[in-house]
Structure 1
Amino acid sequence: MPETISYKSTRMACYRGYIVQGIVNNISPLLFVIFQKEFGVSYAMISSLILFNFVTQILVDLLCVRFVDKMGYRAAAVMAHVCSALGLTLLGLLPRVLPSPFAGLAIATAVSAIGGGMVEVIISPIIDSLPSDAKDAKMSLLHSFYCWGQVAVVLLTTLAVRLLGEGLWWVLPLFWALLPAYNCVAFATVPLRPTVPEEEKSPLKTLFRSGVFITAMMLMLCAGASELAMSQWSSLFAEKALGVPKVMGDLLGPCLFAVFMGIGRTIYGIWGEKLDLNRALLCTACLCAGCYLGAALFSIPLVSLLCCSLCGFSISLMWPGVLSATAAAYPKGGTAMFGVLAVCGDIGCSLGPALTGAVSDIALGLGRGEQWGLKAGMLGAALFPMVLILCLLLSRRFQKTA
């Protein structure tokens, strides 16, 4: 009987789950300017919301390492989507009804971050558990839906604000909440494979003693840093360092970055079984380093912008590729293994933009001008893809000696 089970509905639910994560992570930043105008939210408050979101997701990742396998995939997936839908709903309602709008934003951010964090940890092992001849390709295709979710929420939210007006912004989170609400019902019914039995799992202490796993943790950290440093700084970099108008900078910077990242993951998801994953990771890491160097050093703005956008393609395989390669090396790692890797990736997502900003500030302090400072920050961020290349070469060496 099990041979006749179709997991197509399960895959579709997982794909929608990553679209949900793209929505949850990107809807608030699109509304920051409106929050400033309507609620008087300062830059410091916005920064604290971003930090609050990051800290909450890290805590959720850590808790998932301990408890998700005991809860089971189904309960965890349903809870993740309940929190995502509730967080988006609260984002549209609480700031307008609570005495302190910032408190409403903070509560909505926390609930959404819980949902987004759980989606990140639980969906990848569900996909990895499903029968497939090309699990690395399926993992890449899964992560491409985050990119398409990001592109959709940026384009549709921007268009809706322009058509409806800023006064009706609160309708948009309520609209986007419909998808996680629907997916919550889907995960309650789709067929799921059983988790790895507790007695058969690879203990975390065993993983932490493995050179391959430690290298995988570093790869995840550098992958997150390489992705977020470019995606978060490319708009400002285009406007201030390259002199490109803001609208064009947004479209050719973070939006096109996400499009290229989605294209890269989709291509590998469709044809990845014909490619060698380790070689593909090394080639894309080299391309990523070249994109950072090109963005910082080329004097022609259009070429620098192309490097920013192409960086999305170069980084597309890193996160899903490392997850898939690690799962193949440790098939009984369980959800805890995915949780540890997610923690490393999220730490990198914070470190990348932070280092870029810190280097830019130091360069600005030398009195060389804002343009030079931002280019120096982008040059500093090239450290992460270079470390990626080193870690991939080390990983090959560990695998040969294992």
Structure 2
Amino acid sequence: MKQFTYQDTLRASYLGYVTQAIINNFAPLLFLIFRDSFNIPLEQMTLLITINFLTQLVVDMLAINFVDRIGYKICIVAAHIFAAVGILGLGVFPLLTDHKFLALLAAVMTYAVGGGLIEVLISPIVEAAPTGNKASSMSLLHSFYCWGMVLVVVFSTLFLHVFGSQSWNILAGIWALFVIGNAFYYSQVPIAMLTQEGDSMTVKALFSMKTFWIFIVLMISAGASEQAMAQWSSAFAESGLGISKTVGDLLGPTMFAILMGLARVFYAKYSERIDLLSFITGSGVLCIASYLLVVFAPNPVLSLVGSAICGLSVGILWPGVFSIAAQSIPKGGTALFAILALAGDIGCAVGPSIVGGVAGLFSENLKYGFIVATVFPILLVTFSFIYRYRQQVRSLLVRT
């Protein structure tokens, strides 16, 4: 019988982030199908995004109290089971009732429970594994979210193109099988705890630190900057730029995800030569520019280029903030990752919701939503400068 090692733990974690990519990106590819099949308007579809991330947010918050007591392994396997049931439910639940939107909402809430646990658990699982260069490992880990997003978009788009849009519920079943497979893989691998019981900081102690609040703002801004574009790039390419669904999905979300993944792989490879905070700040500036290009570009091709550049710009934000926070607060433990994931999910919920809500006020013109969402990368750049300033002041005080 095969002896599983911590390399298998890393591989299961990589696949876990592919699962997270399915959770966050599969349903948005079906928004226009849902609209046409179930007569659900785009403004109402925004609620599916919001509920997904709000549910993950609640799970992030609750997980602080039970993950360490139950153990990482039981929780991560349960996360995948919830995710599989919810993803399968996208295709099955609407067949069981006339209340199509409520059925979709139930499916989203179910897989969001799994998504919340995955977001809380996988980063500390990798951080606790006995491997070197944690910042590099964290960036490589999060790159698999991007490759998962590419896989979800490309496979789903081609599947629907070949078998027709009416086959979307079968596609949901295929993705659910993938998730169940990784649940079994996780059940077999060794998993270490991040800190010993009683050795990590309390939640109260974390919230008493001013630096921790800076990380919270950075995570909210990172999540919103990423998902405001990622969740709406497919619909924007099709309805806003007049491009077919197949081409729009391949050029919109796919290029976004590829460049986001390349940014993370690049940092993983060259992390020892790069100042992470400077990389995050520069990426935030590039993100602002990409949003402005999407909105103000004179032709659709340049708008798609802007969307792709946005993927490149947000690549390092989420894993980078995690890494800096782990280095800055080494005793943070599971609570640190859980609260930062919670903050990131707040951003993931707020960003796309603002884009969809503002677009609804302007005849579903998503460009107006993207204009407002530019505030998030601006916040990120501002608070990264604030963090650097505080670190420089602290360093000067230590020397004196």
TM-score (norm 2): 0.89
- Aligned-residue offset at 1:169: 2.4
Post-superposition CA distance 1:260-293 (Å, at most 9, x none): 1111112222332332211211221122122223
Aligned to 1:391: 383
- Aligned-residue offset at 1:400: 2.7
Question: Which deviates more, 285-294 or 68-77?
Answer: 285-294
Aligned to 1:381: 373
Q: Which amino acid aligns with 1:348?
A: G
CA distance in 2, matches of 1:65, 1:250: 37
Q: Which amino acid aligns with 2:373?
A: A
Aligned 8 A contact 2:288 2:374 in 1: yes
Aligned to 1:340: 339
Q: Identity rate of aligned residues, in percent?
A: 41
- Aligned-residue offset at 1:302: 3.0
Post-superposition CA distance 1:316-335 (Å, at most 9, x none): 00000001110111222121
Q: Which amino acid aligns with 1:161?
A: L
Q: Which amino acid aligns with 1:85?
A: A
- Identify the match of residue 393 of structure 2 among 382, 386, 401: 401
- Aligned-residue offset at 1:248: 4.1
Q: In the superposition, relative to structure 1, how do residues 176 and 5 fare at CA in structure 2: closer, same or farther (>3 Å)? A: closer
Q: Which amino acid aligns with 1:401?
A: V
Aligned to 1:146: 145
Q: Which amino acid aligns with 2:189?
A: V
Q: Which amino acid aligns with 2:93?
A: L
Aligned to 2:27: 28
Q: In the superposition, relative to structure 1, how do residues 186 and 39 fare at CA in structure 2: closer, same or farther (>3 Å)? A: same
Post-superposition CA distance 1:41-64 (Å, at most 9, x none): 454653443333232211111111
Aligned to 1:108: 107
Q: In the superposition, relative to structure 1, how do residues 136 and 235 fare at CA in structure 2: closer, same or farther (>3 Å)? A: same
Aligned 8 A contact 2:124 2:334 in 1: yes
CA distance in 1, matches of 2:292, 2:36: 37
CA distance in 1, matches of 2:4, 2:93: 43
Q: In the superposition, relative to structure 1, how do residues 389 and 40 fare at CA in structure 2: closer, same or farther (>3 Å)? A: closer
- Aligned-residue offset at 1:300: 4.7
Residue 57 in 1 paired to residue 49 in 2?
Answer: no
Aligned 8 A contact 2:17 2:145 in 1: yes
Post-superposition CA distance 1:206-229 (Å, at most 9, x none): 221222211110000111111122
Q: In the superposition, relative to structure 1, how do residues 226 and 66 fare at CA in structure 2: closer, same or farther (>3 Å)? A: same
Q: In the superposition, relative to structure 1, how do residues 97 and 237 fare at CA in structure 2: closer, same or farther (>3 Å)? A: closer
Aligned 8 A contact 1:202 1:330 in 2: no
Q: Which amino acid aligns with 1:226?
A: S
Aligned 8 A contact 1:226 1:385 in 2: yes
Structure 2 unaligned runs (5+)? 395-400
Provide the secondary structure at the position in 1 that maps to 2:330. coil
- Aligned-residue offset at 1:183: 1.2
CA distance in 1, matches of 2:164, 2:72: 41
Provide the secondary structure at the position in 2 that maps to 1:52. helix
Q: Which amino acid aligns with 1:385?
A: P
After TM superposition, the structure 1 = structure 2 runs for residues 68-107 of structure 1, keeping only pairs within 5 Å, are: 68-98=67-97, 100-107=99-106
Aligned to 2:276: 277
Q: CA RMSD in A?
A: 2.6
TM-score (norm 1): 0.89
Provide the secondary structure at the position in 2 that maps to 1:199. coil
Aligned 8 A contact 1:78 1:185 in 2: yes
Q: In the superposition, relative to structure 1, how do residues 245 and 117 fare at CA in structure 2: closer, same or farther (>3 Å)? A: same
Aligned 8 A contact 2:161 2:246 in 1: no
CA distance in 2, matches of 1:378, 1:111: 29
Question: Which deviates more, 286-295 or 235-244?
Answer: 235-244
Post-superposition CA distance 1:133-179 (Å, at most 9, x none): 32111111111111111111111112112222233322211111122
Structure 1 unaligned runs (5+)? 365-369
Q: Which amino acid aligns with 1:330?
A: I
Aligned to 1:229: 228
- Aligned-residue offset at 1:242: 5.4
CA distance in 2, matches of 1:313, 1:86: 32
**Count of equivalent residues:** 392
